[in-house]
Amino acid sequence: MKRFMALTLTLIMTALMASGCAGEKKAAVRVGSLSGPTTIGIANMMNDNKDSYEFTMATQPDEIASKIGAGDLDIALIPANLAASLYNKTNGGIRIIDINTLGVLYCVTGDTSITGINDLSGKTVITTGQGATPEYAVNYLLDQYNVENVTLDFKADGQEVIAALSQDKDQIAILPQPAATAATVQIEGVNTAFSLNDTWSDLNNGSMFITGVTVARKEFIEQNKEAVDRFIEDHKISADKASSDLDTTAAKTVELGIIAKEPVAKKAIPLCNIVCMSGNGIKAPLEGYLTTLFNANPKSIGGAMPGEDFYYEG
């Protein structure tokens, strides 16, 4: 009898434990991103995968970098050069899991004689990003195309550049999306002259102009590989939807405060070069891009090129 009761209690306890485990909800993956093109690529995930992820959006890259560096985020979408810097700062504590945004810089002007980078010779160009990736990328392209005597007039932000264009539409500006599209919408006669992403691609040097990447903490990957792989798949679906369902994506970007108005969003999103590239195909183009930044200024990527373990192949 005692053996029967003991067995019965064991079965009851086992059932209760199983029931409790079944009712447990897995912790959401903590994802951080910047208010800009990188978040546009995951905007649909914020609608379609609310239960799987906990999203944090910030305006400053350092805010997201500090959170993932401190372990307060599991995954983050940040500038490519910042990812390299963070890898160095954390002694290899993060991995690139995908590339999320290619080049977002565009030349806009009311001067119809400007159609390509060679037309900038002897000109003054107003832009942003002094001492950061935009400056290095523009100077790299000017050098590669042997364009001389170009003066870069740096402004504090995109709004200041747009204000300058408003005063004289024939000035030449280089702006990131969505500010570039906002300039063409707000200022009559200002149009897109050329894409710096296309200009980079035309070099055919094996690298890509890469604005944003997605990183994950090394420890998180080791403990949650399935969750990381699932995130990449969800990210691909969301990025594809940014193109296939422009209305929904545009509405979401306005709701998130990334772009002020839907008409601007619908024009800007297709120009943001949103992608989700993963696997062993990301190493060569990303390494080439980081090498370009390193050669311009080693501090731009944290003082050293990342090691082989920087790239997560899934």
CATH number at residue 218: 3.40.190.10
| 254/263 Cα distance (integer angstroms) | 10
One domain for residues 93 and 174: no
One domain for residues 192 and 111: yes
Number of domains in the chain: 2
| Residues 232-252, mean pLDDT to the nearest whole number | 96
| Residues 67-75, mean pLDDT to the nearest whole number | 96
**Residue 17 located in a structural domain:** no
**16, burial (CB in 10 Å: exposed 0-12, middle 13-18, buried 19+):** exposed
**Residue 18 located in a structural domain:** no
Please state the φ and ψ torsions of residue 211, each to the nearest 5 degrees.
-85, -55
Position 65, amino acid: A
Please state the φ and ψ torsions of residue 57, each to the nearest 5 degrees.
-120, 140
One domain for residues 98 and 213: yes
Q: What percent of the chain has pLDDT over 90?
A: 85
Written as one string, the DSSP assignment of 243-308 is HHTHHHHHHHHHHTTSSS-HHHHHHHGGGS-EEEE-GGGSHHHHHHHHHHHHHH-GGGGTSS---G
**Residue 20 located in a structural domain:** no
| Domain carrying residue 145 | 105-201
**Residue 142 located in a structural domain:** yes
One domain for residues 217 and 256: yes
One domain for residues 98 and 220: yes
Q: Determine the pLDDT at residue 6.
A: 47
One domain for residues 235 and 295: yes
| Residues 86-100, mean pLDDT to the nearest whole number | 97
pLDDT digits 0-9 by tens, 167-188: 999 999 999 999 999 999 999 9
Of 166, 201, 236, which residue constitutes the final position of a domain? Answer: 201
pLDDT above 50 for 69: yes
**Residue 44 located in a structural domain:** yes
Of 179, 201, 223, which residue constitutes the final position of a domain? Answer: 201
One domain for residues 214 and 299: yes
**pTM of the entire predicted model:** 0.89
One domain for residues 213 and 98: yes
Q: Determine the pLDDT at residue 25.
A: 57
Closest CA to 101 of 157, 50, 162, 176: 176
Q: Determine the pLDDT at residue 8.
A: 46
Q: For residue 311, what is the DSSP state?
A: B
Q: Determine the pLDDT at residue 132.
A: 87
One domain for residues 215 and 256: yes
CB 300 within 8 A of CB 293: yes
**32, burial (CB in 10 Å: exposed 0-12, middle 13-18, buried 19+):** buried
| Chain-centre distance for alpha carbon 306 | 18
Of 201, 228, 262, which residue constitutes the final position of a domain? Answer: 201
One domain for residues 79 and 143: no
One domain for residues 109 and 99: no
Mean pLDDT of the chain: 92
| Residues 262-273, mean pLDDT to the nearest whole number | 97
